[in-house]
Chain A
Amino acid sequence: MAAPMPEDSARKHVGKKNKKKPSKRYWEESENTDQRPEEEQNKDVQNQNEETVKETSLKSKKDESAPLEKKDPFPGEAPIPKERLQKFKRGEKRRAPAGARRTLKETIVFSESVSALAQKQAARYDLLLPEDAGFLEGDEDEDTCTISQDDIADAVDITSGSKYFNLHLSQFGPYRLDYSRNGRHLLLGGKKGHVACIDWQSKDLMCEMNVMETVNDVKWLHTEAMFAVAQNRWLYIYDSKGVELHCVKKFNDVLKMQFLPYHFLLATASATGFLQYLDVSVGKEIAAICTKMGRLDVMAQNPYNAVIHLGHPNGTVSLWSPNQKEPLVKMLCHRGAVRSLTVDKTGMYMVTSGLDRKLKVYDIRAFKPLHSCFLPAGASCLSLSQRGLLSATTGDIVQVYQNVCGSSPLSKPYMAHRLRGQVCGVAYCPFEDVLGIGHGQGFTSMIVPGAGEPNFDALDTNPYRSSKQRQEWEVKALLEKVQPELIGLDPGQLGKVDQASFEQRHKERVEALGFDPLAKEKFKPRKKKKGRSSAGAVEKRKKKVAHEDQRDIIRQSIQEKMEKKKELKEKFKEKKDLGMKTTLDRFKK
């Protein structure tokens, strides 16, 4: 290896010449040594009258043969593929209108140039994401869904193979699960009170306990240091060692939870029909919304705009933000109750399954169904992976579908796996090709090639971060916390100009403040001494002021009226001048 290195580099530097004249062996000395100076040659060539194409090519070749005068074969910046540029495009380009003033033109030109630069740079830095997603490919005449997990685990490398494992926990009933945001830690919650958190890759048990109560749901908070457990009555928060940090009694009968990582909000859906938001960073309840939709046991979050999706027994799915007491959107998805729903990472697609045993894919930008298909036994749990693989569980079977959000309808599963007990919860592990399944007999980690995002943003979610890095990140994340007021259907709303009228805004302001800041203060007569503040006198004074005010108003109105009249008169005059003649005009002198 060492020997050819300088040779290669030499080639690079001499580069073009060697390429152009392949007949030369590298050990042969260059011809240039005994050639006449090139300028002279060129001159001679120019002197000749024959200007054939060949000659020109010869000339150019000679030009290139000079090592120092050689031109850059790829001048300018490296080109960026259009698709990649498209990926980082933010909005449409805008040109300054023709008649705009100079300052406007300058600002627009500058901002456009900067955004173009930003886009280009981002596209260029996309090069730093070198990893590709994996995939499963069967032999000829072999369906990928027939490949068993054992086969896959045998075929792949040891570390990947170790990601397929079963935890036999038959005692404490069907398990709910949650992966931490960087995919490193796993939280398990058995229906009968068993709660455990594991560093699942090293199989390192962080804590394990029984809360001696029914556990409805478990959820990691912003880091792996804290998690929330929805127990029979209240919501509890534990740390990673299993120490109870809080018992939040404002949150009762919680059935499902979702954590919004950028807002530090824990959204809970309770059996009483309440949707509540808990700000984890300050420990305050942000909003409590009575949905009036009955028991809420189907819940999902849209990672794109932090809107909570709730599924209801009447077949509707409603979208909620903490800022509005009524649903942002309510859509009828199923004839029967909604059993499960999930939203993809980009926030474009929602997949729902209902009691009518249908699986529907919705485009939630347009709120239109993309396609629906009929599953023989319906799907009880749904989960979408980072790369858009859909896992649907029917009873004790987990099926994984590919290209769910594409234009083609679902045809056949990509993978399938049978488990021992009824499936209670599924979740894809972020940044791993792993699907975690919680079921009646414990937990199964299943290998699903191509499920996880291969490239992670280490500043956002770093699976390999140290505790120090985690602390740093925590501080940073808290500083960059997004306020809950900004949650809405369109996350770009903040960048738009508020076009509401002044009155409306004023009204809102009054509502928000509870008083009118612009209202005129009521006259309060001053207390005077020596009997001048008697009731009659005070009343008199009040009247005086009131009269004065009224006079002002009247004066104003009169003035307005006069102006109006004047205007009318002028208009009339103009009309007359223009030649609106009446029959009587002829008698005028």
Chain B
Amino acid sequence: MAKSSSLQKTALSKAVKVTSAMADEEEELPIDEQAISASEDEEGSDDERKHNKLLEAISSMGGRKRKKQNERSEASVQVSEFFVNAEGTGDKVNLSDLLGTAEKTPGTSNKTKKQLRNLQNSKETLELPLNKQETEKIQRGIAYEKTATDVSCWKNIIQQNRKAEQMVFPLHQEPLGPKRMEQVVAGWKIQTPLEQEIFRLLHNNSQPVVDPILTPVEEASLKAMSLEEAKVRRAELQKARALQSYYEAKANREKKIKSKKYRKFKKKARVKEFLKQFEEMAKTDPQSALDELKKMEMSRMEERMSLKHQNRGKWAKSKAIMAKYDDSARKAMQEQLQMNKDLTQKIVVLSDDEHESKDEELDTVPDFVNDPEPIIDPVNPWMKGQLTREEPEVSCVTPEVSCVTPEVSCVTPEDAETAAEENEEEELIREFERKRKRRQAEEEGSTPMEEKEHTSEVVGEDVVDISDNEENDDKEEEEEEEENDDKEEEEEDVSEFNTLFKLMRSEKTQEGQEDGEGLLDEGPIRVRNIEDLEVLGEVLEPQPNVAPSLPQTAVVEATSAPTNKKNREIKLNEVLTKEAKVINVPFLPTVVEEEHDEQISIIKEAFAGDDVISDFIKDKRKQEAAGRPKVVDLTLPGWGEWGGVGLKPSRWKRRRFRVRMAPPPPRQDQKLPDVIISEKRNASLAPHQVSQLPFPFQNTAQFESCIRTPIGQTWNTQSVVKKMTTPKVVTTMGAIIEPMVKEDFIKNKTTTPAAKGPTLMFGDGKGRRSTKRPSEKNQGRSQKRKK
């Protein structure tokens, strides 16, 4: 502050000087004119000069110093502006003199005018500039602060290094391993214009300049992957590979299994899976579902055509003979027939009605158009008519279809009647179909968004269903979880049963809709259909789920009940708290030597003399007495009283000069009557012991607890020994350890987040830096030295 203020002042004073100089010039002008006028008449000039001199002398005699006038050294006839000498430059110019002109001049701003006016008004004198010592002191203080802040940036790193468990020098080791050619060779320069052009292009597109080096993007991606991530990824890949191999092995193994039972299971599972898939497909992808249905229809046809499962084979005939007597044979035959029935049964077409509903949407299309469409066998065109005729029979199965069928049925007779028209109609139908397909394709192409919306809606609904289902499942599973692991198999059975049951149920519901119940259910379904026609295919789906939920849960309860019972059977406490038999074995003194009373008495006699206990007590007393410090008698006979043979120093004197020592600490064996513990110090151990508390510790307990764990290999595992004996400082042989440079840790600071993570170093940037750095440093140092 002080400095700045002084600066301002100096500036001001300069300004003042300048202005005063200007004032001087203005003042001097008239004098000059006089001089010129004087020079014009040369004759009287000498006199005038003399007169002037006289005046001067007089004025000087007056004591008042007058400014000496500059004299013109050369006389000149012409007086031009170039020869104007600054006469009276030393004269003082008042501010007021300038102000008048300043205000008059148009160029000056109001601000400066104001400032000038303020200056004029202010009467304060300027402060003296600080003396040299003071300014130097201030400067020193500032310099100290500056350097202190400069130096304090080392503080952190120093502390960190002091704290560090281990320091490895040199601090920045160049990464091991081979370097790329480009990193090593740095002398190559772009020379020709072509090269320049090329490199400019490359730079502009942020492409690697030297060919194997990665692009910045790639580098960034490499850097982004830290070691952990890489490890995780590697682990994932490994796992995936392992899983793949396991699955392969599994598949191989399974392929080799010849067991019929297993195959049966497998087939069942497949069928189940397929059913599920199909349901899913009906919702999501009706087109493919339709294809599937067609396939199934084909298989049905094949079945119908073939003589399989009709009990006409060799085997069936033999069975037929046996059937009279053998129950199982009969059963087998029935099964065969059942299978035939199942296979030849007409499949309920769920997606049909969806199609129909879609058709309903399109009002322009007549209803009868739909009729032949649903199940078209591309292979066999003859089947078309047949199928349409069969349609009403089938359609009565599903309620939706049934609602449509009247129309169909009313149409079909017409077809039959007008055979001639049929062809035309068929042609028409084909045309319509084509058109519709086109339109559909267009719709699909143009409005995928809509579909997505549909699907999302669908999904929402689905989830409800799923959750419903899975709530039930959850119940089961929770129950299962409660059960022990060793019952897993049973649970598997149960759950399998459940799934089977579900399947059965779904089939039943489909079938059951033929009955009155199905008709009863019809209403709400239709309503839904009308409400949202788009989602028609899915709307059917929740129905079977909702309806049988009650019986299902009942079944679940039924199934869970027995399992619970089984659980109850094996209770831990019941099993474990079986009372162990306490075997009371009588004491068998195997070796009982005959008691010789005589012998005892003999022994007693033998030791009658030596009373062991009293001896011991005596010994102990002696020891105690030896341990006690003796009283020191300092009495000198003859001092202050008579001395000589037969004379004792007086009692008072003896008491006065007897020095009692402090009692020793209590003996260790104080409370053990039959033990004598030696109180002697083990002096031989002392040279091996620590006698002075080492530096940071405040008391012995701290130190002793710090060294309580041995560091040797005998008492520790290898890793712990290594950890305990890590050297504080590690240096690599032959490496030059340079003093730390500021850039090291400052750079570290900025790049710590990046530097922490990746230990994988792919980027050449780092390598380059490290290669360059030492030379830079050296240069810097040499420069410093030069300075």
Q: Which residues of chain A have a CB within 8 Å of any CB of chain B?
A: 3, 6-7, 9-10, 13-14, 22-29, 34, 36, 40-41, 44-45, 47-48, 50, 54-55, 57-58, 67-68, 90-94, 96-97, 100-101, 103-104, 106-108, 110-112, 114-115, 117-119, 121-122, 124-125, 138, 140-143, 145-146, 314-316, 321, 323-324, 326-336, 355, 367-368, 376-377, 394-395, 397, 399, 411-413, 416, 418, 459-460, 480, 483, 485-486, 488, 493-500, 504-505, 508, 511-512
Known: A68-B239, A115-B709, A496-B689. A27 touches B254 (CB 8 A): yes
A91 contacts across to B, CB distance below 8 A: 704-705, 708-709
Which of B471, B702, B714 contacts A94 (CB under 8 A)? B702
Known: A13-B243, A367-B675, A497-B703. A22 touches B588 (CB 8 A): no
Q: Residue-by-residue, is B712-728 near A (CB-CB < 8 Å gives 1, otherwise 0)?
A: 00111101100110000
Say if the beta carbon of B613 comes within 8 Å of chain A: yes
Q: Give min CB distance, A547 to chain B, whole Å.
A: 27
Binds A, one of B245-253, B383-391, B403-411: B245-253
Q: Are B593 and A376 in contact (CB under 8 A)?
A: yes
Chain B: which residue is nearest A457 at the CB level? B714
Known: A67-B243, A111-B709, A315-B612. A121 touches B585 (CB 8 A): no
Binds A, one of B47-55, B544-552, B679-687: B679-687
A to B CB contacts below 8 Å, 5 in the list = A23-B496, A23-B498, A103-B695, A323-B685, A335-B612
Q: Are B591 and A397 in contact (CB under 8 A)?
A: yes
Q: Give min CB distance, B422 to chain A, whole Å.
A: 43
Q: Are A314 and B583 in contact (CB under 8 A)?
A: no
A146 contacts across to B, CB distance below 8 A: 588, 590
Q: Are B683 and A104 in contact (CB under 8 A)?
A: no
Which of A22, A110, A498 contacts B690 (CB under 8 A)? A498
Q: Are B709 and A416 in contact (CB under 8 A)?
A: no
Q: Give min CB distance, A181 to chain B, whole Å.
A: 16
B612 contacts across to A, CB distance below 8 A: 314-316, 332, 334-336
Considering residues B277, B474, B684, which has the most beta carbons from chain A within 10 angstroms of its beta carbon?
B684
Known: A145-B590, A367-B677, A505-B686. A114 touches B720 (CB 8 A): yes
Q: Give min CB distance, A229 to chain B, whole Å.
A: 30
Interface members, chain B 490-509 (any A CB < 8 Å): 491-492, 494-496, 498-499
Q: Residue-by-residue, is B229-266 near A (CB-CB < 8 Å gives 1, otherwise 0)?
A: 00000001001101100110110011000000010011
B194 contacts across to A, CB distance below 8 A: none
Which of B589, B672, B719 contacts A121 (CB under 8 A)? B719
Q: Give min CB distance, B46 to chain A, whole Å.
A: 95
Q: Give min CB distance, B595 to chain A, whole Å.
A: 6
Chain A: which residue is nearest B253 at the CB level? A3
Q: Are B591 and A399 in contact (CB under 8 A)?
A: yes
B593 contacts across to A, CB distance below 8 A: 376-377, 394-395, 397
Q: Which residues of chain B have a CB within 8 Å of any CB of chain A?
A: 163, 165, 236, 239-240, 242-243, 246-247, 249-250, 253-254, 262, 265-266, 269, 273, 276-277, 280, 459-460, 463, 467, 470-471, 474, 478, 480, 488-489, 491-492, 494-496, 498-499, 581, 583, 585-593, 595, 603, 607, 610, 612-613, 615-616, 619, 669, 672, 674-678, 680-691, 693, 695-698, 700-710, 714-717, 719-720, 723-724
Q: Are A329 and B678 in contact (CB under 8 A)?
A: yes
Known: A316-B616, A485-B685, A496-B700. A121 touches B720 (CB 8 A): yes
Q: Sorted from nearest, which 4 A-B pairs have the closest CB atoms?
A: A23-B495, A115-B709, A10-B246, A498-B689
B489 contacts across to A, CB distance below 8 A: 22
B672 contacts across to A, CB distance below 8 A: 331, 367-368
In the docked arrangement, what's the CA distance between A41 and B460, Å?
10
B591 contacts across to A, CB distance below 8 A: 376, 394, 397, 399, 413, 416, 418
Q: Are B675 and A376 in contact (CB under 8 A)?
A: no
Chain A: which residue is nearest B586 at the CB level? A143
In the docked arrangement, what's the CA distance between A332 and B675, Å?
6
Q: Are B701 and A94 in contact (CB under 8 A)?
A: yes
Q: Give min CB distance, A513 to chain B, whole Å.
A: 11
B688 contacts across to A, CB distance below 8 A: 483, 485-486, 494
B459 contacts across to A, CB distance below 8 A: 36, 40, 44
Q: Are A23 and B697 in contact (CB under 8 A)?
A: no
In the docked arrangement, what's the CA distance between A7 and B254, Å?
11
In the docked arrangement, what's the CA distance between A9 and B714, Å?
38
Known: A13-B242, A97-B698, A485-B688. A6 touches B716 (CB 8 A): no
A10 contacts across to B, CB distance below 8 A: 243, 246-247, 249-250
B499 contacts across to A, CB distance below 8 A: 23
Chain A: which residue is nearest B583 at the CB level? A140
Known: A92-B705, A104-B698, A496-B689. A488 touches B470 (CB 8 A): no
Known: A13-B242, A394-B591. A488 touches B705 (CB 8 A): no
